[in-house]
Amino acid sequence: MTIEIRNIEKRFGKFAAVNDVSLKVERGELVALLGPSGSGKTTLLRVIAGLEFPDAGQVLFDGEDAGDRDVARRRVGFVFQHYALFRHMTVFENVAFGLRVMSRAKRPPENVIAEKVTSLLRLVQLEPMAARYPSQLSGGQRQRIALARALAIEPRVLLLDEPFGALDAKVRKELRRWLRGLHDEMGFTSLFVTHDQEEALELADRVVVMNQGKIEQIGTPQEVYDTPATPFVYEFLGNVNRVACTIVNGRVNLWGSDFAVEVAESGQREGFAYLRPHDIELGGEGARAHAQVRHVSSTGPIARVELAFDGLATPIEAELSRQRLEQLALRPGQQVPVLARSARIFAAGAGV
């Protein structure tokens, strides 16, 4: 099952929640829609599910336009952030719901329903809970039931709206890994929404970064993290330092190192250099710039050093291993040689 969306637009009053977005999800892929709140990622997911109808554009399932089909006829498995379980039904009845509301011609007989629900409960490892009510389950268990319920109708695609958003950190991590395993095992096409970059990078085959109703970048986790296409993606994914600089004939000199701008223009203009904290080398040979150590924090395997440069208002953050920190024996107030190993330059005004 492939999902293709073409030039989708969705407005709420004057606000364009999704603005001319196109995207193709291949069969068997697990894709994350990542963005801050208000970026339109949930609206886009709801448009694909048929819970929201777009003002313009098309949604195609396997190349076939689904525009005139409402959610009940799209056969998508939708998992809600707050589970949306039916409180007055047992876990068993919740999972069986999709089968029981089928038209009489399609509805399987009672023993088949029971068999199927039981096997789904086994799949989500909650078989002993069949007779319980949702209020008697923990958050993680409820989300697994919601998933089992969505899978009962044998959906063609699985859409998950912030599936782990309401869970605590440890459960979230476990469930994430479990979902990835399930996805690989069942081989369905899945699309999930998250605002948690770590979740998107760890779980997805491809990440779609959204901002203000538009797609900023589509790529594998590696691609979007290593080569962000826009300053927004840089700032949104992981820690980054932003340093104002001057671009001269498409080149920038940052702390004695020379960097090229991708789209070179002749002349001089203002720009910003983006550097990841781990791309800053401290105390290395051949460093031509110096900075003052302001603060050192060393919990965990990675140590963080806050650096102050002359003429820079905001401090720069660098990361290095604990061993390296111990070698250098950095103390606040000390001067340290600094080298930029790699950086991306964006001209000012390009969404910066």
Partner 1 sequence: MMTPKGMQIRRLDIDAEEPHTLGPGRARTSRPALTVVPSQVVSEMSPESDKPTGHAKPRRSTWRTPSALPGFGPTMGFTLLYLGILVLLPLAALIIKASGGTWAQFWATATAPRALAAYQLSFGAALIAAVVNLVFGVLVAWVLVRYEFPFKRLVDGLVDLPFALPTAVAGIALATLYSPKGWIGQFLDQFGIKAAYTETGVTLALIFIGLPFVVRTVQPVLQDIDPELEEAAASLGAKPWQTFVRVIGPAIMPAALTGFALAFARAVGEYGSVIFIAGNIPMKSEIAPLLIIIKLEQYDYRGAAVIGVVMLAASFLLLLGINLIQRWARTRQGEI
Which one among 6, 11, 69, 75 touches partner 1, defined by CB under 8 A? 75
Smallest distance, Å, CB 97 to partner 1? 5
Binding flag, residue 76, partner 1 (CB under 8 A)? yes
Binding flag, residue 53, partner 1 (CB under 8 A)? no
Closer to partner 1 by Cβ: residue 46 or 206: 46
Which one among 13, 14, 88, 300 touches partner 1, defined by CB under 8 A? 88
CA dist 242 and 344 (Å) reads 10
Stretch that binds partner 1, among 64-72, 188-196, 291-299, 332-340 (CB under 8 A): 64-72
Binding flag, residue 70, partner 1 (CB under 8 A)? yes
Q: Locate tokens 């892929």: which residue?
A: 29
Closer to partner 1 by Cβ: residue 1 or 207: 1
Smallest distance, Å, CB 10 to partner 1? 16
Q: Which residues contact 325 (CB under 8 A, 6 or more apart)?
A: 296, 298, 303, 305
Stretch that binds partner 1, among 18-26, 95-103, 172-180, 207-215 (CB under 8 A): 95-103
CA dist 132 and 228 (Å) reads 47
Q: Which residues, 146 to 205, sit near partner 1 by CB under 8 A? A: 146, 149-150, 152-153
Give me the DSSP letters along 151-215. HTT--SEEEEESTTTTS-HHHHHHHHHHHHHHHHHH--EEEEEES-HHHHHHH-SEEEEEETTEE
Stretch that binds partner 1, among 34-42, 65-73, 233-241, 315-323 (CB under 8 A): 65-73
Stretch that binds partner 1, among 79-87, 215-223, 239-247, 249-257 (CB under 8 A): 79-87
> Would you say 107 and 96 are in contact if contact means Cβ atoms under 8 Å apart?
no
Q: Locate tokens 């990542």: which residue?
A: 34
CA dist 68 and 20 (Å) reads 19
Q: Pick the closest to residue 305 from 285, 315, 313 (CA basis).
A: 315
Binding flag, residue 305, partner 1 (CB under 8 A)? no
Q: Which residues, 211 to 270, sit near partner 1 by CB under 8 A? A: none
Draw the binding track, 128-147, toward partner 1 (x: CB under 8 A; -: no contact): -----xxxx---------x-
Report how far apart, in Å, the C-alpha atoms of 335 and of each of 67, 282, 293, 323 are.
63, 10, 6, 19
SS3 89: coil
Smallest distance, Å, CB 129 to partner 1? 12
DSSP state of 327: H
Structure tokens at 76: 């998508």
Which one among 28, 80, 205, 238 touches partner 1, defined by CB under 8 A? 80
CA dist 146 and 86 (Å) reads 10
Give the binding site for partner 1 (CB under 8 A). Answer: 49-51, 70-73, 75-78, 80, 82, 84-89, 97-98, 100-102, 133-136, 146, 149-150, 152-153
